[in-house]
Amino acid sequence: MNGDWYKDRVFYQIWPRSFKDGNGDGIGDLYGVYDKLDYLKELGIGGIWFSPFYPSPNADYGYDISDYYSIAPEYGDLDIFRKVLDKAHSLDIKVILDLVINHTSDEHEWFRKSRDKDSPYRDYYFWRKGKKEGRAPNNWSSFFSKGAWTFDPETMEHYLHLHHAKQVDLNMDNPAVREEVKKIMRFWLDFGVDGFREDVITYISKPAALPDDLFFQAVKGLRFYDCGPRIHEYLQEFRTDVLDKYDCMTVGEAPMITPQRALTFVSGNHPDLNMVFGFRHMEADCLYKEYLPLPFSLRKLKRAFTSWQNALNGKAWNALYLENHDHPRVLSRYGSERYHDESGKMLAACYLLQKGTPFVYQGQELGMTNFALPSIEQYEDCVARKQYENATKVLPKKFVLRIIQRATRDNSRSPVQWTGGKNAGFSDAEPWFPVNRNYPSINAADEAADPDSVLNFYRRLIAFRTKSRIVRYGDYRELLPLSRSLYVYERTWQGETLLVICSFTEKAVRYRFPKGFAAETAELLFCNYRTAPFDAETGGTARSGRKPHCPRMTTRPYETRIYRITKQ
């Protein structure tokens, strides 16, 4: 875990089921990935994160693993993965896998065996007696259902699952479980992968007594299983016993973490992990989860971005993202479908030039959008279904469906739109999940041919950031933190400044450039409009050759501009 290579690359997340179908069964697979590696190379991608492709009953689409050592037949087999890996490496693309070790599927053989009270596997999981008859062992709630415990009438005990009842929490306090985890890590690292994205890794250590959540703490989002008592010890053990022996990296998913707490995982001489994914910036239009919608607040988003940039500066390395398979499409949330191309590009600029390693989620580079389905039966996500079932007990069905349409993770799980042809070029067969109706106008083939597309903007920006030392090393400073419409930040390094201006509104906003900015010397590197005028009274436009002397601009809808300013 020594190489710094992950700092100079842009990663791309593949959620295999919806990426590209290569064998004609309507389900995305590794054959499809193999065919698209050149596309990723052209995008400038230097690493791939695969969401789980292991055998799974798919209660939570792959995050309920029943065998850690092979590949689900619908996605391929180890041979095709070998080919994908070799080709990726030949293109200088690293590959990391999802390591889901907080829980296994209830169909994993460990859990099956653990149903027998006398089996050594019993202690692989949390089997407990209820407090009283008919009552769960504690009051923990699950993210995907009501209670975090399910009762087994055969052994008269309950088992713990923080997520779906088919995702059973592993007991990491059991040394045998930790040995299993290390064995899984070694298997894939020996196979040649370059690291792991570690699923809900901050939940893997539970306090031995499994105490009740306290109401006031729970309201604030504090849980006993979050960053539990032995979390650092276990992550250090994984690092020392396995990861240190390979040139690999890790990025941990840390749902509730603050940047200060993140430092305890990612800073110091021998950090537990290389990076963590925080969540705060994904909550700028909702309360913790998208299911509690609020109006979008740019100030919330900026506070989240800036607090992470500042806290980690010089101490640790950030993981940057705006989309993944757990959130609706960002263009439909923080951007505007009406200003599709403009806001798609602006959103790219708002995070790709921050300090850290960016992750792009499949289809984000095309500006894929949310997609409302007309009935709940068409949604596949277990969370959407559960939320619908619960909420419709007290709220009108139509109203609940509208929230689901906006909030469901399925928004980001529709097939990638490759062409304007049949099934968006995703598959010759009927896709496993409906294709977004807007594919005739939003698709990779058309965007590749259009120099002004969102895709080509991503390509140029990624190419720029990958070789830019200022993006790698520069300090970050936010300007205008109080603005409700503009996000402006600069990166400064060795006498050079990058100024990034992002408008999050269709309204015209007057912006005065910072002191020292001279229109004559500032080089406009990127803009999402064809021209980049300064205000009329300033006497000219950047391209007109006339020199503006009072650098001010009035933004156009979702405008972004990136300037390079070199000290004279």
Q: Catalytic site residues?
A: 199, 253
Pick 45 or 201: Cβ nearer ligand NOJ: 201
Judged by CB under 6 A, the chain residues 240 through 299 that form the site for ligand NOJ are 253
What's the full length of the chain, in residues?
568
Q: What is the DSSP letter of 561?
A: E
Any contact of residue 200 with ligand NOJ (CB under 6 A)? yes
Q: Is 366 exposed, middle or buried (0-12, 13-18, 19+ CB in 10 A)?
A: buried
Q: Least Å distance between CB 249 and ligand NOJ? A: 18
**Helix (H/G/I), strand (E/B), else coil: 86:** helix
Q: Which of 17, 94, 108, 163 binds ligand NOJ (CB under 6 A)?
A: 163
Pick 21 or 253: Cβ nearer ligand NOJ: 253
One-letter identity of residue 182: K
| Closest by CA position to 444, among listed 367, 372, 337, 369 | 367
Q: Least Å distance between CB 142 and ligand NOJ? A: 10
Q: Which of 85, 100, 400, 486 binds ligand NOJ (CB under 6 A)?
A: 100
DSSP β-ladder status, 157-160 and 149-152: antiparallel
Any contact of residue 168 with ligand NOJ (CB under 6 A)? no
Q: Least Å distance between CB 16 and ligand NOJ? A: 13
- Any long-range contacts for 90-93 (C-beta under 8 Å, 24+ apart)? 91/37, 91/38, 91/40, 91/41, 92/46, 93/37, 93/40, 93/41, 93/45, 93/46, 93/47, 93/48
Any contact of residue 410 with ligand NOJ (CB under 6 A)? no
Residue least distant from ligand NOJ (Cβ): 63
Q: Least Å distance between CB 412 and ligand NOJ? A: 10
Q: What is the DSSP letter of 477?
A: E
What is the SS3 string spanning 105-143? ECCCHHHHHHCCCCCHHHHHECEECCCCCCCCCCCCECC
Any contact of residue 170 with ligand NOJ (CB under 6 A)? no
Q: What is the CA radius of gyration of the chain?
A: 24
Q: Which two tokens stand for residue 84?
A: 């994908």
Q: Least Å distance between CB 247 and ligand NOJ? A: 26
Size of the site for ligand NOJ (CB under 6 A): 9
Any contact of residue 63 with ligand NOJ (CB under 6 A)? yes
Pick 325 or 556: Cβ nearer ligand NOJ: 325
One-letter identity of residue 527: C
One-letter identity of residue 9: R
Q: Which of 21, 60, 285, 380 binds ligand NOJ (CB under 6 A)?
A: 60
Q: Which of 194, 199, 285, 410 binds ligand NOJ (CB under 6 A)?
A: 199
Q: Least Å distance between CB 103 and ligand NOJ? A: 7
Pick 200 or 462: Cβ nearer ligand NOJ: 200
Pick 200 or 349: Cβ nearer ligand NOJ: 200
Give CA–CA dist 262/411, Å, rounded: 29
One-letter identity of residue 421: G
Give contact residues for ligand NOJ (rule: CB under 6 A). 60, 63, 100, 163, 199-200, 253, 325-326
